[in-house]
Chain A
Amino acid sequence: MSTPLKPLPAWADVALIPLINVTAAFVISGLVVLAIGENPIEAVKILIGGALGDLEGLGYTLFYATSFIFTGLAVAICFHAGLFNIGVDGQAYLGGLGAALVCLYLPLPGYSLVIVAIPAAALFGAAFAAIPGYLQAKRDSHIVITTIMFNYIASALMGYLLVNTLRNPKQMNPETLPFPRGGTVPQLFELLKPLGIVWPDTPLNLSFFLALAAAVFVWVLIWRTRLGYEIRAVGVNPTAAVYGGVSPSRIVIITTLLSGALAGGLAVNVILGSEHRLVLEFTAGFGFVGIAVALMGRAHPVGIVLAAILFGVLYQGGAELAFDMPRISRDMIVVIQGLVVLFAGALEHLFRRPVAALLARRISQPPI
């Protein structure tokens, strides 16, 4: 018996539905803005203008987007294997530890330091993800539960290390000494200055291009390699995967390792690219935003890059909005982000049925 709901054409699935979802989130947000007595049209102008209106805003937007691309990819690669990695935040946090240890303790000359620090961030992120991955693969401990717990472990561990072991002794703040210059990812304005191009001083750094490369890597991996094929097979139908000679437990472990490594990219962007020292709670919950990004981007790298930029706009534009409209507090921005997550993630199927019904009248394909 065929289901009455026909699958949507690809373009509607990838572009139309997310667009409708985001529009709905903005309409509701507009009503909330109206309710607290501000002009929603004006608010949107400030938000978009603040995020994209000038190069400085754009720089911050893309800086945030870089973090979201990494965490979104980390969540998405696990989605493909049927796993829900909620521990991206903790894995990124540990990734920061790896990067910091290299930058602070390895006596490497010049930028060779950062060349080692980047893989170290990935390695530490992967190693921290390996434990829940192993427990899922071999002990059937559900990865959702273990990764949530591991976020707390990461938080407690890093708090301890930053207060007791790694802290800059001349400081009260729980943060390390600044990294040497060779231990930083160059920021865009530094690179463009010698070329005579004026780019405002923003934390946007070369990690942005690393994130785009990671997106291409994930796409190739998932859709063009044997490992990706096996990851998708395990994610969709583990029984068939076993029949096809694939070991699901091996795939689960490999996928969580890759996910943890991608999570380390968040540390590369924030710690090596902007803070230039290890600070407490630098992940700022971006690992969780990655879940929303992956959902909204439908676990596809192109969708993730677009969703990450949207969330970058919300972060940067939201900060501007809180500054320019006193009645709209920082919390209001969280409400708007929450609505986007709600419509794009939790309620992503809300408009699916009406859209499918609308399209079915003219273009939908019949059962074959």
Chain B
Amino acid sequence: MTSATGAPPAIELVGVDKSFGPVHANKNVNLRVERGVIHGIVGENGAGKSTLMSILYGFYEADAGQILVNGEPVRIRSSREAISHGIGMVHQHFMLVPPLSVLENVMLGAEGGPLLKAGAKAVRAQLAHLAKVYALEVDPDAIVGELSVGLQQRVEILKALVRGAEILVLDEPTAVLTPSEADQLFDMLRVLKSQNKTIIFITHKLREIMSLTDRVSVMRRGEMVATFETSQTSPPELADAMVGRKVILKIEKAPARPGAVVLEARGLRVKDDRGVTRLEDVSFSLRAGEILGVAGVAGNGQSELLEALAGIRPLASGEIWLNGAVLPAAARDPKAMRRLGVGHVPEDRHRVGLIMPFEACESAMLGFQDEKVYGAGLLFDRGAIIADEAAKMEAYDIRPPAPRLKTANFSGGNQQKIVLAREIERNPAVILVGQPTRGVDIGAIEFIHKRIVALRDAGKAVLLVSVELDEIFALADRILVLCGGRVTGERLPEETNAQDLGLLMAGVEQAA
């Protein structure tokens, strides 16, 4: 099989089919990825992208269908075989050993003999070569655990290249990156492309597809529904193809009608677990009926701000005022803050907001386990717990509507809705929301954004922390920018733009 130019495609999947019991994860999928292009694959969570890539990388074997690499039919039964066919994978969650150096990580599994010296020398030379050809510079002796997330990802890419990958598969690579790191990644991928490497880029962020890829294939419910030349499509068209219906990317919202100040932070200073000051002299006020967006590159104190306000992290100094009264330190533990009407949707639902091995109905009472609705006496009322979550699943369209299903078995968007339902339904006066749509599919993003605006319109004070500027612009009535743990600026969305905020996020203070 050959393309119009005569060269066979780097990857061709023909009629790939995979079922897990009754669920058809991939239905007769056909995909052609030409050599030397960046090919995007988009789809909602659960559309079958990861299953398809797992088949390509040898984690699963397809029930039916064929894989052709450079026109040759191949059978890929393990990641080792995938590598031998020149397919390299960069996982969303890195497969690195943090205490080892870059060099040692790259060598891992390809040490070249019982003694390391010869292999290390060869790999070091290869790394130097790659640094020159692809501008992929990393200090080979740096400890991986001390590198930024962006550099760790670069190490993952280097690992694949050193093993001779001609085709790189990146599974939602930007989910863990800051905007500037994502830009660097894109530059890197463009260089790789210019050197005739083939890149398969999986994402559900349409902006990335538009700015990076040459071609894009859309998956929906296990099927490959369309392939476009990126230059001849548009985000609305892609969104339509993904969800099979019209999606409003811009949220309709009326102007805010802010009321009285509900929450006030005065000179907050917060340290992290290692004693490093992560928040310095942060002051702001939050009114009822407004959304205050906190923008900033990830890791500039937003997490510590949310944790301090939610009572999880103690203040080194400063005061938190609620409804015009200062909160004493003793009244600031998570339980007390909830009782005072401060809801908290944490940034990391996997690690903080939910307990993955618990049933959904159990995760859905985390933080509220003392409430009488779940059982008035010594024992829980299981019926009430399940009924309560069943009602929320109905109201928030959580799928599948199975309160007793393990939390981990829900998709990202549905997990986030479990958290939102839990926090919003308590009718808090203040709600702290961290990264509400991280790793969430487009349909759920729209739903979550509408809920947040509805909360504001109901007179709640909303503090929204997001590293997605689009999200900040879509939702916030007022924008606070954090950089290095300090407030570098405050803006009204209609009086600013991405460039202006970008400067503030980089720490360049300027008058509005």
Which residues of A are interface residues toward B (Cβ below 8 A)?
A: 1-2, 4, 6, 220, 224-226, 229-230, 232-233, 236-237, 239-245, 360, 362-368
Contacts and interface: CB of A to CB of B under 8 A. Distances in A.
User: Which are the 7 A-B pairs with shortest beta-carbon distances?
Assistant: A366-B20, A245-B335, A366-B23, A244-B366, A244-B367, A245-B334, A224-B379
Interface in B310-339: 310, 312, 333-335, 338
Given A225-B380, A226-B370, A226-B380, A4 B59 contact: yes
A237 B351 contact: yes
Interface in B394-412: 400, 405, 409-411
A1 B21 contact: no
Contacts of B25: 366-367
Nearest to A368: B409
Given A1-B91, A4-B59, A366 B366 contact: no
B50 interface: yes
Contacts of A220: 379
Interface of B: 19-23, 25, 46, 50-51, 53-54, 59-60, 91-93, 171, 310, 312, 333-335, 338, 344, 346, 351-358, 362, 365-367, 369-370, 375, 378-380, 382, 400, 405, 409-411
B352 A239 contact: yes
A182 B184 CA distance: 80
A10 B499 CA distance: 54
Nearest to B338: A245
Nearest to A361: B21
A38 B250 CA distance: 81
A244 B53 CA distance: 36
A51 to B, nearest CB: 36
Contact of B369 (A230, A367, A368): A230
Contact of A237 (B20, B91, B171, B355): B355
A332 B382 CA distance: 48
A243 B379 contact: no
Contacts of A237: 351, 355-356
B351 A239 contact: yes
Main SS class of interface, B: loop
A364 B22 CA distance: 9
Contacts of B354: 240
Given A364-B21, A366-B22, A366-B25, A226 B334 contact: no
A254 to B, nearest CB: 15
Contacts of A6: 20
B290 to A, nearest CB: 25
Contacts of A360: 20
Contact of B312 (A4, A229, A232, A242): A242
Nearest to B363: A240
A357 to B, nearest CB: 12
Nearest to A365: B21
B379 to A, nearest CB: 5
A239 B379 CA distance: 25
A245 B333 contact: yes
Given A236-B356, A240-B355, 16 more contacts: A1-B50, A1-B53, A1-B59, A1-B171, A2-B54, A226-B380, A229-B362, A229-B380, A232-B358, A233-B355, A233-B358, A233-B366, A236-B357, A240-B354, A365-B20, A367-B25
B21 A229 contact: no
Given A226-B370, A242-B334, A236 B355 contact: yes
Contact of A224 (B21, B380, B400): B380
B335 to A, nearest CB: 3
Contacts of A236: 355-358
18 contacts: A1-B59, A1-B93, A226-B370, A232-B355, A233-B366, A237-B351, A237-B355, A240-B353, A243-B367, A244-B367, A244-B369, A245-B370, A362-B21, A365-B21, A367-B46, A368-B23, A368-B400, A368-B411
Contact of B334 (A224, A244, A363): A244
A364 B409 CA distance: 13
A202 to B, nearest CB: 36
B389 to A, nearest CB: 14
Nearest to A2: B50
Given A229-B380, A240-B355, A367 B59 contact: no
A292 B443 CA distance: 48
A140 to B, nearest CB: 13
B352 A240 contact: yes
Contacts of B310: 243
B384 to A, nearest CB: 12
A229 B371 CA distance: 13
Contacts of B358: 232-233, 236
A1 B367 contact: no
Contact of B366 (A224, A243, A363, A365): A243
B382 A368 contact: no
Nearest to B172: A1
Contacts of A229: 362, 365, 369, 380
A225 B381 CA distance: 9
Contacts of B366: 233, 240, 243-244
A368 B410 contact: yes
B312 A224 contact: no
A236 B359 CA distance: 13
Contacts of A365: 20-21
A220 B46 CA distance: 36
A239 B356 CA distance: 12
Given A366-B19, A367-B20, A368-B410, A243 B353 contact: yes
A159 to B, nearest CB: 41
B346 A243 contact: yes
Nearest to A247: B333
Contacts of B352: 239-240, 243
A281 to B, nearest CB: 39
Contact of A364 (B20, B312, B375, B400): B20
